[in-house]
Amino acid sequence: MSTGKALPEISAAQLIQERLLKYKELVTAFSYPKKEELCLEYDRLFRLSEIWLYGAEYTAENEFQRVKELSDISGFYRAFGLQVDKERPDALSCELAFMHYLIYKELYCLKKNLSKAEEKAKICQDTQKKFFKTHLYPAAKKIVEKVILASEDGFYSELAQSLSVFLESEEKFFRID
């Protein structure tokens, strides 16, 4: 059923900004919580059960592949002058934070009329697509499935469903087959 009204067009800059904010929200949500009641649920789901927030636990078939994947993810980070401090590079929160960083850097390049700004923004866009397709998307999909199956109605169930919807929108955004 249609109301006859067209949905308002969203500009490319608005879309980039919305993606930036969504990644930041997800980074915070999948990090260790500060509220005590969420700490209990976080610990139950991610520390006392078999749900890992580490992508390679779901995508690597053996230790050799796991090491290769962790190295590849670290290579993405190093290419942008980043490194993981206290967490594994395949931690969901780290991968989400990296996507946030790439989008932020893309916006920065586009807003500042820097030398070769469009070229630098394009590098950020290409890296987002490759990192999403190669690492974040396959791992996050499997993590989402596990969380939805193991969590009762509540924060982490809703969070997993929200991430699932967002992953699908990002898949369409990147036009990944």
* pLDDT confidence of residue 139: 97
Per-residue pLDDT for 61 more than 70?
yes
C-alpha of 34 from chain center: 21
* pLDDT confidence of residue 153: 75
Q: Which has more pLDDT, 87 or 4?
A: 87
DSSP state of 67: H
Spatial neighbors of 50 by CB under 8 A, at least 6 apart, are: 146
| Distance (Å, whole) CA 69 – CA 78 | 14
State the amino acid at position 74 in one-letter form.
S
Query: pLDDT, tens digit, for every residue of 18-35?
Result: 999 999 999 999 999 998
Query: How confident is residue 68, by pLDDT bands cut at 50, 70 and 90?
Result: very high
Query: pLDDT, tens digit, for every residue of 3-13?
Result: 455 545 677 87
Query: For residue 90, what are the CA distances in angstroms to 81, 120, 139?
Result: 17, 25, 9
* % of the chain surpassing 70 pLDDT: 94
| Distance (Å, whole) CA 145 – CA 18 | 24
* pLDDT confidence of residue 2: 44
Query: How confident is residue 151, by pLDDT bands cut at 50, 70 and 90?
Result: confident
Query: How confident is residue 131, by pLDDT bands cut at 50, 70 and 90?
Result: very high
Per-residue pLDDT for 57 more than 90?
yes
